[in-house]
Amino acid sequence: MSQQRLYLVDGESPQSERRRRQRQQQSNCCSCVLVIVSLLIALIALRSPLTRWWRERQDVASRSGPAAMFPLSLQTDAPSYYRYELVRIDLHVVDPGGKPIRVAESPSIVVRRDDEVVVTIAGVRKLVPKYDPEQGIYQCYWPVPWRAKPGRYVAEAKMELENVGDWPWEVPPTGAKGDEEDSSPPTEGSGYCVAQAEFSIKSRPPPQLPAGLCAVTWEADFPQGFVRRPDGSRGDWQAMLDWAEFMGADCLWYRGAVTATFRGALSFQQPFATHNLKAIPRLANAAHRRGLKFGVWASAYATYPHHTNKDKPGYDYAQDISRSTGKVSAVDFISLLDPVRREHLTDFFKQMQKMDNVDFIGVDYLRSDRGGYEMTDLFTSQMPVELPAGWEQWGQKRRWKYVATKVEKQWQTDADFYEQWNWWRAHRTAQIVSQIISEGHITKPVWIFSLGWMHGTQHGQDPVMLTDAGAALIAPMLYQVHSQPHFDAMVRSWEEYMDTGVANVAAGDEVDDHWHQRSRRPAAPELLYERMMTAHHQFIPHGQTMGAFWHDISRAAVRGKLGPYPGREWALAGAAAFSEVRKSWQVYPLRVEIKAAESAAIGSSWAARVIIENLSQADINDIEISVQKTPYVSSTGQPTKTVPKLGAGERIEVPMWVKIDQASAQRANRFMVAVRINWPEGDYGEQFRNDLPRTIVVMQYVQGT
């Protein structure tokens, strides 16, 4: 819907002036004859202005169409937009004859909501459209603000007119006394005209997913050699399912599509390594046989090996430019502008959609990495960035170098430019997700691995945009953290940005001693647990994340930076995090806690108290409690105990006796005490999830003295 208005700067509106004169000339009549005579006189007096008004209307109608009725018209390219989209605004300026013209000073455009000007990305309040001589129109784009409120918005353009008399005024012939000036507007004076166009911003609510979803991942190639089981014994590829069961996960996520040439050259006909693709049906079937859900993800825009694109498909690879020499080079990430890569990803999604035993489809590396400056011209043409004079005449390398300098060197001193760059990339990645889901007719839940800094936006990922694009679950990665303050800053950025009901979030941490700062107090696996719990409870203000993930089995079972902690210990820390997530959602009929002394003498026995509460309205029988094997900790009493019956609402405390066997300077004498609780299948109430593994792990680290 568009609207136009014209305002006078000199003088009074003809309609308001006419009404003022009418009020001044009102009189009371006391004779019917006088009333009739007055009406006759008025009709005679109005004959001339009525005739002239009719002729003017006929003259207006004979002009070159509606454009000649008003100098300004405004329209958007769609009636509604999701929050990842750019609102394109077209502005037409014409002369009284209807011919498109370019004015000396571009009209300004603002966007209003509830009559207030909306401030968008980088504090932009006003847009200055650019003239396109080929189309004969002014055009600009309005980036929808981060997490914009859905509803009605109005784009408004304003332009000054030198002479309002050049334009027809649609004023009806009213007024008494036959004053001809009352039936037509003044033909001189300056003014300004305003055109408006309405549009709406809409949101896509996140789909309903079961709370307490906990996934373990496998990122390496499908294994050909042995894979250690959680108990340290050797197994084959099916050991990944052993790890998932050991941790109480309800889903296994597997990297199935990756452009990696370690096993041979790839092409447009075969863009993904076949070794991983062939394993998907076998792994999916095995997961379902064990009661696990199964998800497959694609490494979207990253390719391997790094630093070379030899033997890879002939994609348009992202471009980097040296800020010192101006040398342009391709990086190992595919450009976000490459349509062929999006087609290949869509084809992969279609294949996963057809597989019965694939429950989730995901993507990683849905972003640009180093470089990406081949997007410079599109970015600067669509975003309201301030550019140097003569920008259009600059050469390509100079333009790329300018943007690279702004993004990489001046990202703090010119935070507005940097924010616009990040918004535009987030818009682009969400657009890709939307196209893949739409073109692939994908109905299975889609999850996105996202980086955590600045809730993902620092790398062109936004949880709100991705949800609007159709993503069912956002999986922020808590890893590659350089310090604890760095992690704390990440948490604050999510806490300040998110809210309940905005997106489904399941954050996860990585099995890696290095990225936990080789921490010993707390122990690195202990820190993994704490970070997962912090994200779960603090990423969503007034709420909590719906699930969690643990990354990844291959790092614990094959090759990883484990530090002095075996993969089993990392897994138990992840299992305890999963149990805590489900405890907060109350999806289990049992609530379990462990309480032990913060420190204990090495070699002495002491009791870790396990507190179990029955939340259901039914008896729970044969609850099994077992001390888990962890380094330097052993059971000194019964390693496994059974609670024959725990009545509805009852609570019990069970002591499990353990000791720290010996000191370990390598671990700074910090040791994990872990206990597992299992219970039989049963009908404990509809509020509890019967499809989850019936296992809870609780753990506590104790300082040996």
The 3-class SS string of 386-434 reads CCCCCHHHCCHHHHHHHHHHHHHCCCCCCHHHHHHHHHHHHHHHHHHHH
Please, what is the angle between helix 396-408 and helix 415-440, to 10°? Answer: 100
Q: In 67-204, which ranges are E strands?
A: 72-76, 80-82, 86-93, 108-113, 116-117, 130-132, 137-143, 151-161, 191-202
Question: CB of 144 within 8 A of CB of 118?
Answer: no
For residue 165, what pLDDT is reported? Answer: 76
Q: What are 94's two structure tokens?
A: 């014409």
Does residue 320 fall inside a structural domain?
no
DSSP 205: P
Which CATH number goes with the domain that contains 680? 2.60.40.10
- Round to whole Å and give the CA distance between 161 and 581: 64
- Round to whole Å and give the CA distance between 323 and 14: 61
Alpha-carbon distance values, 221 to 95, 113, 510, 704 (Å): 66, 51, 17, 39
- Round to whole Å and give the CA distance between 452 and 29: 80
pLDDT tens across 470-490, in order?
999 999 999 989 999 999 999
Neighbours of 504 (CB within 10 A): 25
Q: In the listed set 153, 179, 202, which residue is the last one of a domain according to the structure?
A: 202
Which CATH number goes with the domain that contains 152? 2.60.40.1930
Does residue 176 fall inside a structural domain?
no
For residue 162, what pLDDT is reported? Answer: 77
What is the torsion angle, in degrees rounded to the nearest 10, for the CA atoms of residue 347, residue 349, residue 351 and residue 357?
170
Q: Kindly report whether the peptide bond that precedes residue 179 is cis, defined as omega within 30 degrees of 0.
A: no
Question: CB of 613 within 8 A of CB of 590?
Answer: yes
Does residue 395 fall inside a structural domain?
no
Alpha helices (H) along 209-302 = 239-247, 274-289
Task: Say how many CA atoms lie within 13 Å of 195 toward its Cβ.
Answer: 23
Q: In the listed set 202, 222, 255, which residue is the last one of a domain according to the structure?
A: 202
- In sequence order, the β-bridge partners of residue 660 are 633
For residue 169, what pLDDT is reported? Answer: 57
Question: CB of 672 within 8 A of CB of 549?
Answer: no
How many angstroms separate the first and last alpha carbons of the chain?
Answer: 75
Please, what is the angle between helix 415-440 and helix 339-354, to 10°? Answer: 50
Which residue reads 């818009």 in tokens? 427
DSSP 520: B
Does residue 614 fall inside a structural domain?
yes
Does residue 460 fall inside a structural domain?
no
Does residue 341 fall inside a structural domain?
no
Class of residue 374 by CB neighbours under 10 A (exposed 0-12, middle 13-18, buried 19+): buried
For residue 179, what pLDDT is reported? Answer: 47
For residue 1, what pLDDT is reported? Answer: 61
- In sequence order, the β-bridge partners of residue 658 are 606, 635
Q: How far is CA 696 from the centre of its chain?
A: 32
Q: What are 245's two structure tokens?
A: 């069961």
pLDDT tens across 218-233, in order?
999 999 999 999 999 9
Q: In the listed set 202, 221, 256, which residue is the last one of a domain according to the structure?
A: 202
Give pTM, 2 decimals. Answer: 0.88
- Round to whole Å and give the CA distance between 27 and 210: 76
For residue 45, what pLDDT is reported? Answer: 41
Neighbours of 589 (CB within 10 A): 24
Q: How far is CA 491 from the centre of its chain?
A: 16
- Round to whole Å and give the CA distance between 372 and 333: 9
pLDDT tens across 42-65, in order?
333 444 544 444 444 444 343 344
Does residue 58 fall inside a structural domain?
no
Count up the domains in the chain and report the number: 2
Alpha-carbon distance values, 674 to 60, 86, 270, 570, 700 (Å): 87, 51, 46, 12, 7
Q: What is the mean pLDDT of each run of 10 residues along the chain (705 residues)?
A: 52 38 35 32 41 43 50 95 98 90 91 97 96 94 97 95 72 46 54 91 96 97 95 96 98 98 97 97 98 98 95 97 93 98 98 97 93 97 96 96 95 95 97 98 98 91 98 96 95 96 97 97 98 98 96 96 98 98 98 97 97 97 98 96 97 98 97 98 94 97 97
Residue type, 160: E
Domain of residue 694 covers 586-705
- Round to whole Å and give the CA distance between 287 and 266: 29
Per-chain mean pLDDT for the chain: 89
For residue 75, what pLDDT is reported? Answer: 96
For residue 193, what pLDDT is reported? Answer: 86
Q: How far is CA 400 from the centre of its chain?
A: 27
Does residue 599 fall inside a structural domain?
yes
pLDDT tens across 569-628, in order?
999 999 999 999 999 999 999 999 999 999 999 999 999 999 999 999 999 999 999 999
Question: CB of 609 within 8 A of CB of 595?
Answer: yes
Question: CB of 510 within 8 A of CB of 477?
Answer: yes
